[in-house]
Amino acid sequence: MIAVQHFGSISGGKDSQAVLCKMVERIERKGLEAFGNTPPRFLSADNGHENPITLDHIAYLDDWLRQRVGLRIETVSANDVPGLTDAAAFARKRAMLREEWSKEKRRTRHKGACNQRRAAWQAGAITRAEWTAQCDCPVLVSPPVPDHLIEQAIALLHPSGIPFLDMVMLHGRFPGTKTRFCTDETKLVPIMHRKRPLLDAGVSVIDWIGERADESPARAKKPPIQSTRHPSGARQVLYRPIFRWSAADAFAISARHGLKHNPLYTMGMSRVGCSTCIMVKKRELRAWAMRFPAEVNRVREWERLVSLVSRRSAVAGTPASLLPAPTVPGDPADHGRATIDRAIAWSRTSRGGRNYGLFLDQEQREADEHGLRCDSEYGLCE
Ligand code: SF4
């Protein structure tokens, strides 16, 4: 039996590509001995919300990897994980929705000092009774949902085969900045699903991760190597081989191997995962909307579908929104949310909200005429 299995996670971005190059270099320099005599495995999670250009780029990397060292990139999906986005998960959701939407819903909106007492209760400083005894916060009452809206929602709750869409339909909402279940459920869980049988069998796993300290203060606090012990006794090691690298270093190693980088970097995107990510920057949102109208249409349709399985949106007749309120200034009458169309309109305004249409029209014309004009945040064409 093998004692250790190395994994590389491939996202289609420059950092995971740099790690891929490092692993290939190591195989070529030291042979498989450097990986415990077992070929490393490369995993890529496809959640159905990826930019098609990123999927093409991963296929290109897969081809390069096969030609270079005879290995392949395995695609994983939430659909592979029993109970996550399958028919059983939807059957549970339908039963739960029918029961819950048929009843009145009461929710207390805690405010100010009451929130502080709740935090004290959560921290164990006071009892729950002590917290709630002083609570006089307003209680929001939602009457039972009309039958035709329940039936409409239930009719939609069946797997589409698209993991990201199925996940949000099951949650009845899109992820938010504080509840970022998209990363966990459509990426981390399916990747872990491939590793767990090894860990359960006592095989240690070493994950090569493309995280760099200069990406964010939170990342900078992480150690370059982290190790935890699995109940079977196997170790799960997170190894960040490019932790001290700059973005330029990450691009440079690909250049050394004659590898193209993801074309999205030259289209004004700093991140190349979901199309589009819920944490998208204003400038990137504008570029994405301009270059990928079909993707905008897809997201608009998803917002329509999700609104019909969200209790609040279905009753109010308001659309759901992919982008969470803190990302985009939304509609104060609708919990601060902004639909994709509203968000795109906002992305086409200057800081004070003034529309700078002339400039944008010219930008669009240039994109139409010249196609892939380099708009890289990383100065890739300089
Ligand atoms: S890239 Fe953005 S939208 Fe996609 S899984 Fe990660 S946080 Fe969620």
Residue 349 is predicted with a pLDDT of 85
Q: Using the mean position of ligand 1's atoms as its centre, give its distance from the Cα of residue 278 in Å.
A: 6
CATH topology of domain 4-84+182-264: Rossmann fold (3.40.50)
pLDDT in tens, 305-323: 999 999 999 999 988 999 9
Burial of 120 (0-12, 13-18, 19+ CB in 10 A): middle
pLDDT in tens, 271-289: 888 999 998 989 899 999 9
Residue 382 is predicted with a pLDDT of 44
- Among 182, 211, 275, 284, name the best residue to mutate to test ligand 1's pocket (greatest count of ligand atoms within 8 A of Cβ): 182
Domain limits, CATH 3.40.50.620, in the chain: 4-84+182-264
Burial of 339 (0-12, 13-18, 19+ CB in 10 A): buried
Residue 225 is predicted with a pLDDT of 96
Q: Using the mean position of ligand 1's atoms as its centre, give its distance from the Cα of residue 346 in Å.
A: 21
Comparing C-alpha atoms, which of 202, 207, 206, 205 is closest to residue 233?
Answer: 202
pLDDT in tens, 210-263: 999 998 888 899 999 999 999 999 999 999 999 999 999 999 999 999 999 999
CB 321 within 8 A of CB 338: yes
- The sign of the dihedral angle between the CA atoms of 278, 282, 284, 288 is positive
Out of 18-27, 66-75, 312-321, which region has the weakest mean confidence (pLDDT)? 312-321
Q: CA–CA separation, 137 vs 124, rounded Å?
A: 21
CB 291 within 8 A of CB 366: no
Residue 135 is predicted with a pLDDT of 85
Q: CA–CA separation, 317 vs 104, rounded Å?
A: 18
Out of 109-113, 210-214, 351-355, 378-382, which region has the weakest mean confidence (pLDDT)? 378-382
273 lines ligand 1 (CB under 6 A): yes
Q: Helix or strand or coil: residue 337?
A: strand
The token duo for 209 is 């991760």
Q: Using the mean position of ligand 1's atoms as its centre, give its distance from the Cα of residue 279 in Å.
A: 7
Mean local confidence (pLDDT), 137-154 = 93
- Among 54, 179, 187, 211, name the best residue to mutate to test ligand 1's pocket (greatest count of ligand atoms within 8 A of Cβ): 187
